[in-house]
Amino acid sequence: MHISIIGSGYVGLVTAACFAEFGLQVTCMDQDPQRIAAMESGEIPFYEPGLQDLVRKGRQGGRLTFTTDLAQAVNQALVVFITVGTPSTDDGSVDVSSIEAVATGIGRAMTSYTVIVTKSTVPVGTGQRVKFLIESAQREPVRFDVVSNPEFLREGSAIEDFIRPNRVVIGAECDESVAILKDLYRPLYLIETPIVATTIETAELIKYASNTFLATKISFINEMSVLCEKVGADIRMVAKAMGLDGRIGSKFLHTGPGYGGSCFPKDVAAIISTGKEHRCEMGIAQAAVDANARQKTRMVEKIRTALGTINNKRIGVLGLSFKPNTSDIRESPSIAIIRLLLTEGAYVQAYDPEAMQETAQQLPELKLCSDSYEVSDDADAIVLATEWNQFRNLDLERIKKQLRTPIFIDLRNVYQPTRMANMGFQYWSIGRVSPVPM
């Protein structure tokens, strides 16, 4: 079967490469000729483990091709996926103008029965809007179906998430389009992936409800960590014991400096906005947003308490991306914290295995270091902001020697408080009482 992917960003390219791996004939379209030329020469515009190899394999096997021509992409495919961006607007609602433009383009180009699938995260009602725009743009009536098939990919493990998903959600209006989509995902039957077939509106909402729930879970544990510090409890044990209850589950109970990335902040804001539109108060989602904002400022308070003052201090930061295994710094708590530190007069030096280039463009006043150890050079404190594997097994003696004062602020609870104290660090973490150095 031949399919096309419109929009070769993160979701689009992962989807294209994985479907090509499933053995389908895939055309990946983007309006940006430079992006397409780069991808044709084997370059991937962002860092995602395993993606470059998968794209190369698809291209070499002749199953993955690239184009800037929307009409060509639409005409040769039975299924067309829309994977263009849906950014947030200032009021938290979602800008679906790129989706609308693509829908109109598809309507104009379509010459035979096609299934149009929205994979981008889109507000409830977008599927019907896409249907309307395609119908309006058609020069002569051509039969088509619209389907919602939201993605649940996590940056950093997107390929694994695509190939071994927890579930596939298909929102459709007719059995024919559901059957076609099921056929695309046939390799997943072998691993008995549950397929949830439902209406378009329900599928659209499942995506937002899932992300909002996960964001709320993180905000919940972050708020608990504050209480842990006040009452002398250990958040790791609280989370562990909570997670052993099958109804709660152990995932997404890891406390940190707040959630970030291109999805959670945007999607929680969007569901609040959809709630407003329908006069439905989304109080829990709003509380998750507020707690997340507080968490970042609390991290700066923690650093201030550890150092006495932030002004004129040299602070080393490990990790810039919003989480490990990605170069993405969008809504990264590390970046938000660095900005606050800079505003308070700190001199910040930082290192990240993948996100240095992006950060250099956004924060030119930040000193970027060449490795994990340069970060501690002559610094008054070191802050571990993103839990990259490289930072889990650091040469702590070396870091201690390089620091002016042995202050280690671990915003991801990577290290053991007692061990750090025994090594002579003033160790600060989240939701755990700091032991006194020996």
Positions marked catalytic: 263
CB proximity list for 294: less than 8 A, separation 6 or greater: none
Minimum Å distance from CB 72 to ligand UGA? 28
Minimum Å distance from CB 110 to ligand UGA? 28
Phi, psi of 185 (to 5 degrees): -95, 15
- Contact segment (CB under 6 A) with ligand UGA among 17-25, 152-160, 275-283, 398-406 equals 152-160
Radius of gyration of the chain (CA): 24
Query: What is d(CA 68, CA 160) in angstroms, rounded to the nearest whole number?
Result: 28
Burial class, 190, CB count within 10 angstroms (exposed 0-12 / middle 13-18 / buried 19+): exposed
Q: Is 323 in the site for ligand UGA (CB under 6 A)?
A: yes
Q: Which is nearer to ligand UGA, 44 or 78 (CB)?
A: 44
Q: Is 155 in the site for ligand UGA (CB under 6 A)?
A: yes
- Per-residue x/- mask for ligand UGA, residues 129 to 148, rule CB under 6 A? --------------------
Q: Is 151 in the site for ligand UGA (CB under 6 A)?
A: yes
Q: Which is nearer to ligand UGA, 174 or 196 (CB)?
A: 196
Query: What is d(CA 197, CA 301) in angstroms, rounded to the nearest whole number?
Result: 47
Q: Is 322 in the site for ligand UGA (CB under 6 A)?
A: yes
Considering only residues 58, 105, 165, 260, which one is a binding residue for ligand UGA as defined by CB under 6 A? 260
Q: Of how many residues is the chain composed? A: 438
Question: For residues 197 and 273, is the Cβ–Cβ distance under 8 A?
Answer: no
Q: Which is nearer to ligand UGA, 70 or 320 (CB)?
A: 320
Q: Which is nearer to ligand UGA, 174 or 293 (CB)?
A: 293
DSSP 3-state of 64: strand
Q: Is 46 in the site for ligand UGA (CB under 6 A)?
A: no
Minimum Å distance from CB 312 to ligand UGA? 30
In DSSP notation, 282-335 reads -HHHHHHHHHHHHHHHHHHHHHHHHHS--TT-EEEEE--SSSTT----TT-HHH
Q: Which is nearer to ligand UGA, 86 or 402 (CB)?
A: 86
Q: Which is nearer to ligand UGA, 6 or 270 (CB)?
A: 270
Residue carrying structure tokens 């108060």: 281
Tokens describing residue 11: 């979701």
Task: Please give the size of the binding site for ligand UGA, defined by CB under 6 A.
Answer: 21
Query: What is d(CA 8, CA 403) in angstroms, rounded to the nearest whole number?
Result: 44
Q: Is 263 in the site for ligand UGA (CB under 6 A)?
A: yes
Minimum Å distance from CB 151 to ligand UGA? 5
Q: Is 431 in the site for ligand UGA (CB under 6 A)?
A: no
- Contact segment (CB under 6 A) with ligand UGA among 79-87, 153-161, 308-316, 361-369 equals 153-161
Minimum Å distance from CB 323 to ligand UGA? 4
Q: Which is nearer to ligand UGA, 99 or 307 (CB)?
A: 99
Q: Is 253 in the site for ligand UGA (CB under 6 A)?
A: yes
Tokens describing residue 82: 């829309």
Q: Is 256 in the site for ligand UGA (CB under 6 A)?
A: yes
How is the beta sheet containing 426-428 ordered, strand by strand?
Answer: 367-368, 347-351, 314-318, 381-384, 407-410, 426-428
- Contact segment (CB under 6 A) with ligand UGA among 230-238, 246-254, 346-354, 422-430 equals 246-254
Q: Is 252 in the site for ligand UGA (CB under 6 A)?
A: yes
Determine how many CB atoms are found less than 10 A away from the CB of residue 141: 7
Query: What is d(CA 432, CA 422) in angstroms, rounded to the nearest whole number?
Result: 16
Minimum Å distance from CB 401 to ligand UGA? 30
How wide is the angle at C-alpha 376 spanned by C-alphas 370 and 379, nearest 5°?
Answer: 125
Residues that bind ligand UGA (CB under 6 A): 121, 151-155, 211, 214, 218, 252-254, 256, 259-261, 263-264, 267, 322-323
